[in-house]
Amino acid sequence: MSVLVDRDTRILVQGITGHQGTVHARNMKAFGANVVAGATPGKGGQQVEGVPVFDSVAQAVKATGANATCLFVPAPFARDAFLEAVDAGIQLAVIVTEHIPFHDMLTMYHYGRSKGARIIGPNCPGIASPGKTKVGIIPNVVFHPGRVGVISRSGTLTYEIVNGIKERGLGQSTCLGLGGDPVVGTSFVDALPWFQDDPETDLVVLVGEIGGTAEEDAAEYIGRKFHKPVIAYVAGRSAPPGKRMGHAGAIIARGKGTADSKLHALEAAGAHVAKFPYEIPALVEQYLPKRSAP
């Protein structure tokens, strides 16, 4: 078992004929992902990295049974691409695209929910389960199969931390990048129950950043309902109020969303807090439950 995706996930790549779509379709296949189709209007009948390309998502789903999509569609067209995918029956959309207009994302979020479709992102690195599959752009080389779940708002920090866990001789069950925009399709509170219920996850690393209240909300959930060890890190401790740090959602306003407030909430909920990313692998090793040899 893994979170959201597994070996049976049949992946469609929207925008596969563009440079980023082509490169990451190749990398997903190298990771072991079952990339069954691509979709680019006007490019139907081509093949990219051995993957058939269709003019529409509906054609791709009918021909290949695709049940998840990864969007490499430019921001002005991302909303329509997502709506097309949902209307074709796709139930999981990983949206790598950044700079999607705020109101477009609100439409996508509510339409997806109304149709029972799950959004990961936008502006995210995606999701990967080592030894099973990957949907997105997380580098293949940072992974090793194991029992550590990772949920993160930051892409590059995700890569650094996952690689550090691997170099410590440990591995990951599922790594989920939520995205850094003000409106995202999946929150920490959405994701934590999946990792709680996953028998292959024994510990979760939660990587947050300044801005919003997602980490405080996660802390409340952890304190009440989450029963596995949590290692937490929040980026942006030195950021001044009102300063945006990288992501559109990483902005402190009206005294809320500071790193200190998030860290205090997580610590009070029982999470083990790291001050720096390099501390995380040692904390994972320390608190990862020991399993008896079979």
User: Which residue numbers are catalytic?
Assistant: 247
Q: Contact 235/210 with Cβ under 8 angstroms? A: yes
Q: CA-to-CA distance for 206 and 153, rounded, in angstroms? A: 9
CB-CB neighbours of 42 under 10 Å: 8
Q: Which two tokens stand for residue 94?
A: 């990983």
User: Exposed, middle or buried by CB within 10 Å (0-12, 13-18, 19+), for 292?
Assistant: exposed
Please report the sign of the dihedral spanned by the C-alpha atoms of residue 135, residue 136, residue 139, residue 143.
Answer: negative
Query: For residue 106, what are the contacts with CB-CB under 8 A and spacing of at least 6?
Result: 183
CA-closest candidate to residue 14, choices 62, 99, 83: 83
